[in-house]
Amino acid sequence: MTDNQDLLAMTHLGEDPSKYMKSVTPPIFMNSLHVFDSVEDYFSVDIFKDEYYYGRASNPTVTILEKKLAALEHGTRAVVFSAGMAACAAAILAVCKTGSHVICMKASYGPVQHLLNDFLKEKMEISVTYVDGTDLKDFENAIRPETDLIILESPSTLIFSVVDLEGVAKLAHAHGIKTYIDNTYSTPVFQKPLDMGIDIVMHTMTKYIGGHSDLIGGVLISRDDEFMKKIMVQRDWFGGVLGPMEAWLAIRGLRTLDVRMQRHYETAMKVAEFLENHPKVKHVYYTGLKSHPQYELARKQQKGECGLMSIEIDGSAEDTARFVDSLKIFERGCSWGGFESLAIAYTYNWSEEEQAFHNLNRSIVRLHCGLEGAENLIADLSQALDKI
């Protein structure tokens, strides 16, 4: 069951209709600046106290969204960005310095690894150790004196590995290392990493928080108010602020987040069970299945599962492509978290090197189960699997 406070945060928190002519939804403050009666007034603005002077620093519609997200993650402050990647980059830059060492999960979101490997290594001499992360020892063995940050994703979003969040948080704090998690898979409805000791939570709002495949956005949340103020100032300097229109869409997305997540979970469970028993499917990666090696840990940390899973087709990469191309309701596309079902032949064009790094072959398909209903989705998957 979803917490009562969460339900109120998603629906009403942060909003005050008396401030906007009793309108049941807040206005989109489509302004780049605010004007003042005096020089004194202008210079007395405090952006950390919901006061406004320029849209790159803060915006009233954006603030409503930030209040909801901070409450939902049990943090003190949230700062939203123009994309999930802008949020991720801001966290890394705020924590790390030249020469920092980072421990990152092997299964983390690809562009995060590109940012580390192809940019930060060269520009800031940041070194990275990639770990499997399913065993606490992986992290323990990777720690160095210069380790400043551990980057987590749990469950991860291709092979759905789960990390012992309390365990990693304890280990990291004993060594003065900050912990960061991409919590997009679970959304705040299903998992609260700050309650388990993690320092910084990130979401891309492009996925379930937006929920309608009509916006790009990201957020960072923590309980360290001073750190979050630093993040807010840093956002002002780099300029990766979320626009008021996107903020409003995300506020609208949050209103139905709970009901959508419950339905995605219910649908995906039925789909995963169907696929697990299908002869042309070699393996299903879904943390809701009892066959998942970390099923118990997932049950301890998460209240539920989302609509995302991967399967390994029992066939060649070409068979896999034929299956994906034969789908009719599942569209072929790279994102997830919206109303629509999506399929992507994720590893189809992977090099030998990438296949070896992740220990995966070219027959992996990632599926997002949208809101079209389990029966429709199972029928679609069934007819497409028959084409192999």
- Residue ranges of E strands in the chain: 77-81, 101-105, 127-131, 147-153, 178-182, 200-204, 218-222, 281-285, 308-313, 331-332, 342-344, 364-368
Q: How many residues bind ligand PLP (CB under 6 A)?
A: 12
The CB-of-307 to ligand PLP minimum distance in angstroms stands at: 12
* Contact partners, residue 354, CB within 8 Å, separation at least 6: 347
Tell me: does residue 240 bind ligand PLP (CB under 6 A).
Answer: no
The CB-of-376 to ligand PLP minimum distance in angstroms stands at: 24
The CB-of-215 to ligand PLP minimum distance in angstroms stands at: 9
Q: Binding mask 153-182 vs ligand PLP (x if CB under 6 A, - otherwise)?
A: ----x------------------------x
The CB-of-218 to ligand PLP minimum distance in angstroms stands at: 5
Residue list 86-115, contact with ligand PLP (CB under 6 A): 109
The CB-of-109 to ligand PLP minimum distance in angstroms stands at: 4
Is residue 354 helix, strand or coil? helix
CA–CA distance, 255 with 7 (Å, rounded to integer) = 8
Residue list 181-210, contact with ligand PLP (CB under 6 A): 182, 184, 204, 206-207
The CB-of-336 to ligand PLP minimum distance in angstroms stands at: 7
Number of H helices, E strands in the chain: 16, 12
| Shorter beta-carbon distance to ligand PLP: residue 185 or 323 | 185
Tell me: does residue 310 bind ligand PLP (CB under 6 A).
Answer: no
Interface region with ligand PLP, contact rule CB under 6 A, candidates 81-89, 223-231, 249-257, 369-377: 81-89
| Shorter beta-carbon distance to ligand PLP: residue 151 or 385 | 151
| Shorter beta-carbon distance to ligand PLP: residue 182 or 312 | 182
Task: Give the residue carrying structure tokens 């000791």.
Answer: 197
The CB-of-379 to ligand PLP minimum distance in angstroms stands at: 27
Q: What is the DSSP string of 296-308?
A: HHHHHH-S---SE
Residue 208: HSE in the Cβ half-sphere, 13 Å Cα cutoff: 30
Query: Can you name the residues that pair with 101 across neighbouring β-strands?
Result: 127, 147
Q: Binding mask 113-152 vs ligand PLP (x if CB under 6 A, - otherwise)?
A: ----------------------------------------
Going from the C-alpha of 195 to that of each of 200, 301, 342, the distances in angstroms are: 11, 10, 32
Give the strand pairing for 77-81 and 281-285.
unpaired
| Shorter beta-carbon distance to ligand PLP: residue 111 or 373 | 111
| Shorter beta-carbon distance to ligand PLP: residue 182 or 199 | 182
Tell me: does residue 83 bind ligand PLP (CB under 6 A).
Answer: yes
CA–CA distance, 72 with 78 (Å, rounded to integer) = 10
Ranked by CB distance to ligand PLP, the top (closest) residue is 84
Interface region with ligand PLP, contact rule CB under 6 A, candidates 28-36, 82-90, 257-265, 285-293: 82-90
- Is the backbone peptide bond immediately before 193 cis, with ω within 30 degrees of 0? no
Name the residue among 13, 66, 9 with its Cα closest to residue 231. Answer: 66
Going from the C-alpha of 168 to that of each of 54, 142, 199, 203, the distances in angstroms are: 39, 12, 11, 19
The CB-of-63 to ligand PLP minimum distance in angstroms stands at: 20
Q: How many CB atoms lie within 10 A of CB 273?
A: 16
Tell me: does residue 216 bind ligand PLP (CB under 6 A).
Answer: yes
CA–CA distance, 308 with 272 (Å, rounded to integer) = 10
Tell me: does residue 84 bind ligand PLP (CB under 6 A).
Answer: yes
Instruction: Find out whether 55 and 242 touch, Cβ atoms under 8 Å.
Output: no
The CB-of-83 to ligand PLP minimum distance in angstroms stands at: 4
Residues found near ligand PLP in the complex (CB under 6 A): 83-85, 109, 157, 182, 184, 204, 206-207, 216, 218
